[in-house]
Amino acid sequence: MALLKIKTYPAKVLKRIASPVKDIDGDTQKLFDDMIETMYAAEGIGLAAPQVAVSKRIVVLDTSARDKAAPSLMVIVNPEIVYSEGDILSTEGCLSLPEFTTTVERRAIVFVRGLDREGRQIEIEAARLLARALQHEIDHLNGILLLDKVNMEDTMPPIKKAAN
């Protein structure tokens, strides 16, 4: 395994729409392992392949350290949100935007379909942090960063009332 360099904004690869994976071969397995090692080393809860300069639809996630009810390590290839429910506002950061956080509205519950690392069809029902992380990582596959989701009310100075 090897640590990969995490690309940070404004790297162009972060803005590209990633390609679906057609064939999970030995190189792809090595990429999964390297992404996992890189995510843990960076103390992240998720990592998308474009963040390590590979424009392919692959995400790895592990939210179990912060949510005991969540499943541990997951590799999802070609993930797709097939159903979602509710809206929830919370603060997020991103390994590709060091030192930056913003509040983002996300769906509260998501059903994600994709392939596991062996190429088997999987469907995941996720809530709480995992639901948020899945949406964040899938955004990366579509070239969408937190910067594109900035809540203006968060960043605008409060409107001052005229003093009487």
Q: Which residues bind Ni ion (CB under 5 A)?
A: 94
Measured in degrees and rounded to the nearest 5, phi and psi for residue 16 equal: -85, 155
Vertex 64: Cα angle to 55 and 122 (nearest 5): 55
CA distances from 139 to 15, 18, 145 (A): 10, 10, 7
CB-CB contact of 125 with 109 (8 Å): yes
Q: How far is the CB of 15 from Ni ion (least distance, A)?
A: 13
Q: How far is the CB of 136 from Ni ion (least distance, A)?
A: 5
Specify the residue, 117 or 140, whose C-beta has the smaller distance to Ni ion.
140
Q: Which of 37, 99, 105, 137 is catalytic?
A: 137
Specify the residue, 24 or 59, whose C-beta has the smaller distance to Ni ion.
59
Q: How far is the CB of 129 from Ni ion (least distance, A)?
A: 14
Specify the residue, 24 or 110, whose C-beta has the smaller distance to Ni ion.
110
Specify the residue, 24 or 54, whose C-beta has the smaller distance to Ni ion.
54
Q: How far is the CB of 128 from Ni ion (least distance, A)?
A: 18
The secondary structure of 64-130 as a DSSP string is TTT-TTS-S-EEEEEEEEEEEEEEEEEEEE-TTSTT-EEEEEEEEEEEEEEE-TTS-EEEEEE-HHH
| Annotated catalytic residue 105 | no
d(CA 124, CA 27): 25
Q: Give me the active site residues, please.
A: 137
